[in-house]
Amino acid sequence: MHMADALISPAVGGVFWAATAGLMTYCSKKMRNSFESLQVPLMGVLGAFIFASQMINFTIPGTGSSGHLGGGLLLAILLGPCPAFMTIASVLTVQALFFADGGLLALGCNIFNLGFFPCFLAYPFIYKLIAGEKPTQSRIVAGSILAAVVGLQLGAFGVVLETLFSGISELPFSTFVLLMQPIHLAIGVVEGLVTASVVAFVWAARPEILEMAAGHAPAKSFSIQKVLATLMILALVTGTGLSWFASAHPDGLEWSMAKTSGKEELEAPEQGIHSMLGHLQEATSFLPDYGFKSAEVTEAAEGEAQHETAVVEEAEAWPAVDIGTSVAGVVGGSLTLLMAWSIALFLRREQKTS
């Protein structure tokens, strides 16, 4: 469930980069004191362990498929929230750079979805509460499953919201939620079971490791107020940032005008200052129009006739189709590709001869 660069807008990517950077600064401040301790190599090696554990898989009974560990919650249990968050961030960075999973701009979103929720919400408020100070086998299992499920549900919902706010995908909110949440419910249960069995094994074999981790973790001094404040600020930044972009974008207005007063009167002339400004606005629009029109289409799809009117309305809301422009775009596009290709060929030949 890695977000991809191709699906997010700069505003969403930027907001989550900022949120992730803030969390990282907070964490590295918290961890500065323990910098010479065992924590440094432990974090590094456990990050590598997440990769290594993905070499080994197991059969999920009854389905014939196989699963493996995701690792967010396990790291939080072993290391505590802050070091675990940093470790997950590093794992995702390596994945983004080497496996092309997600992307550089989407990295903020991914770290937030897969790091923040398990480390700062699921672990302290669910796992710790259930497993308690003196964990037993059954408490570990219950805590892990519940925490993993909640963490992954939140993460999946994060993916949905980020995609929705970016407006690149046309997928309606309800469809996307129905697609993502059940899948991640199943993944969450599997992840919880795996985490539980590993933690239970460690608990049976070397209980001092878990105690050490719980002692290392700054979880005790971790206040709910701080989490809430961070979330509030985030919501505020996201809300104001996005609404500013949205209201600066005239498409919504144009659309409602076309809807209320009909299109003909308002249609801009094809040439002249108006269309030039239109082009300028198109060229500089930062956030793509993420009107909730697609959700409307699904609603309207209940009745056939209604559906048709919705489609017509949509077509009206769009810039008029200009055949000349389309053909010119295709011709120009092909020529551009040809040029890029020949430049590359030239560069390669230069390299060979030099």
Partner 1 sequence: MPKIESSLFEIGVLDQLAFQDTPLHRIDPRIKLITTLCFIVTVVSYNHYEFSALLPLILYPIALSASGQLPGAYLWRKLLIASPFALLIGMFNPLFDHSTLLQIGGLSISGGWVSFASIMLRFTLTVSAALILVASTGFATVCMALGRMGISKVFTTQLLFLYRYIFILTDEGLRMMRARNLRSFDKRGTGLKIYGSMLGQLLLRTMDRAQRIHQAMLCRGFTGDIRLNRQFRLRSTDITFAAGWLTFFILARTCNLPLAVGQFVMGIAA
**Cα–Cα dist 117/121, whole Å:** 5
Which of the residues 73 through 92 are near partner 1 (CB under 8 A)?
A: 78, 86-87, 89-91
When binding is defined by CB under 8 A, the residue of 62, 205, 273, 305 that contacts partner 1 is 205
Which of the residues 249 through 308 are near partner 1 (CB under 8 A)?
A: 282-286, 288-289, 294, 297-298
Residue (197 or 230) nearer to partner 1, CB: 197
Rounded to a whole number of angstroms, the minimum distance from the CB of residue 150 to partner 1 is: 21
Which of the residues 162 through 201 are near partner 1 (CB under 8 A)?
A: 163, 167-172, 175, 193-194, 196-198, 200-201
Residue (235 or 345) nearer to partner 1, CB: 345
**Cα–Cα dist 40/190, whole Å:** 29
Q: Is 98 exposed, middle or buried (0-12, 13-18, 19+ CB in 10 A)?
A: exposed
**Cα–Cα dist 113/204, whole Å:** 31
**Cα–Cα dist 15/211, whole Å:** 36
Looking at this protein, which amino acid is placed at residue 50?
I
**Cα–Cα dist 296/65, whole Å:** 37
Residue (6 or 266) nearer to partner 1, CB: 6
Q: How far apart are the first and last CA of the chain?
A: 45
When binding is defined by CB under 8 A, the residue of 16, 23, 49, 184 that contacts partner 1 is 49
Structure tokens at 255: 């659309």
Q: Is 18 in the site for partner 1 (CB under 8 A)?
A: no
Q: Is 13 in the site for partner 1 (CB under 8 A)?
A: yes
When binding is defined by CB under 8 A, the residue of 137, 138, 206, 309 that contacts partner 1 is 206
Q: Is 244 in the site for partner 1 (CB under 8 A)?
A: no
Question: What beta strand segments (E) does 21-145 contain?
Answer: 58-59, 66-67
Cβ 300 vs Cβ 309: under 8 Å? yes
Which of the residues 109 through 128 are near partner 1 (CB under 8 A)?
A: none
Residue (153 or 163) nearer to partner 1, CB: 163
x/- map, 312-331, partner 1, by CB under 8 A: --xx--x--x-xxxxxxxxx
Q: Pick the closest to residue 145 from 203, 185, 181, 179 (CA basis).
A: 185
Q: Is 58 in the site for partner 1 (CB under 8 A)?
A: yes
